[in-house]
Amino acid sequence: MLNQVKDYIQQHALFDPATDTVLVAVSGGLDSVVLLDVLHRLGVRLAVAHCHFGLRGDEADADEQFVRKLAKQYEAPYHAEFFQTKAFAEREGISTQMAARLLRYQWFEQVRQQHGYAAVATAHHRRDQAETMLLNLTHGTGLAGLHGIQPKNGHVVRPLLGLGRDDLYDYLVENRLIWREDASNDSPVYQRNRLRLEALPVLRDLNPNLDNTLAATAERVGGAEEIVRRYVADTAAQARRDEPEATYFNIATLQNTAATALVLHELLRPFGFSWAVSKEIAGSFNSLSGKQFDSPTHRLVKDRAQLVVTPRRLAQYGTFQLTQGQADLLADGLRLRASEHPRAGYEVPRSRSTAALDADKLQFPLTLRRWREGDWFMPLGMRGKKHLSDFLIDQKVPLNLKDEVRVLTSADGKICWVVGFRVDDRFKVTDETARVLQVQRL
């Protein structure tokens, strides 16, 4: 079996076993315990990641302790995260299973980036592939759902996907490995469990070779999807524009494609939009601006001749302060860098991402916050005040980007900079300025 996995890794270019360090997702169950041992025996440098979803009480605590000891046994760095899964699911209006999936893959990628791991390995195998294909077909799906789980998706890899569950169990017994059984795997509450326990046995009576048949079907469907993918990529090259704040799609270009709704869905699938919502979006092309659509992770707004896609923030931005002499401020992904300069010889930058402020007119600490209805300021070059809501309309800021606009205020409450847009005229640098506070959005 070791050679099978080694060949599979090489065939699908999952990672380089000789040089790469791989983060292995380990629940403590049979599949992930086998994955960890196989990769260890193949000489792969490993780290272990374990998710505690706060759903199974003492049993989940025992799982975490078991995986912690397992990582120590394999002399692998150990990473664990304790999630408030139910609270997150309720806040986002999604199922507990969807919440757990979003949380774990988001966290895996954070750990991978933070520690420089080459890939995240999960223990999906051929039976998981069959279950996923049939579950997707039951719910309704496109080509991507019919080919099921991919050997490699971004930095997530599945080295065991070419093996059956019986192969894993035989390996476990042969090597006398210990694992923990998750009682929730037999609970009929979860759809996947009902499919596994009730529907699949009937289908295997009709076709004892069902898992292999579905794996071959997935391979053929994957080839058809590659043809579609290339067409979609050509369309994206013409219609899509990526900016730091959002992704834009040109509606006129999309309308000229064959099977517009299908192409649009393929373009929007990475942002979490379903087929049904993608059809609604395509149907809105000739409607008025401002129509809004949400996926679990992103928001899309039809804005004039374009679609604007932005991430949905999973946590609301709060209020953050910049004290005098402080160089950096990190606020939920937005980074500001402040530096003080003498006025003599200082040239005011023309970039909208940098504010040059008269330091002596500021009162510290400065506060970074989201803009609010009723906010006003005096845009640079104007004598009168302007409501920020009107200013953003004048700037043609799409609806979903308005929620991301921040203001930097002096301690007296006055807005000194609408971040990324305009300095307040009251704080501008003049010939009388002695000290300049430069604040840059990185």
Rounded Cα gap, residues 91 and 86, in angstroms? 9
Q: Which of 261, 10, 50 is nearest to 152 (CA)?
A: 10
Q: Would you say 382 and 376 are in contact if contact means Cβ atoms under 8 Å apart?
A: no
Binding residues for ATP: 27-32
Cα pseudo-dihedral 343, 345, 351, 352, rounded to 10 = 10
Residue-wise DSSP of 8-70: HHHHTT---TTT-EEEEE--SSHHHHHHHHHHHHTT-EEEEEEEE-SSSHHHHHHHHHHHHHH
Angle at 294 between CA 293 and CA 297, to 5 degrees: 150
Which helix (DSSP H) or strand (DSSP E) does residue 274 occupy? none
Q: Which of 201, 179, 200 is nearest to 36 (CA)?
A: 179
Question: 128-140 b/e with 16+ CB inside 10 Å = b?
Answer: bbbbbbbbbeeee
Q: Would you say 254 and 279 are in contact if contact means Cβ atoms under 8 Å apart?
A: no
For the record, the structure tokens of 46 come out as: 């490993």
Rounded Cα gap, residues 274 and 254, in angstroms? 17
Q: Could you tell me which residues come within 8 angstroms of residue 106 by beta carbon, excluding any fewer than 6 positions away?
A: none
Rounded Cα gap, residues 111 and 116, in angstroms? 8
Residue 321 Cα to chain centre, angstroms: 27
> For residue 121, what are the β-bridge partners?
24, 157
Binding residues: 27-32
CA quadruple 266, 268, 273, 275: dihedral positive or negative?
A: negative
* E strand segments, 343-392: 354-358, 366-370, 376-377, 386-387
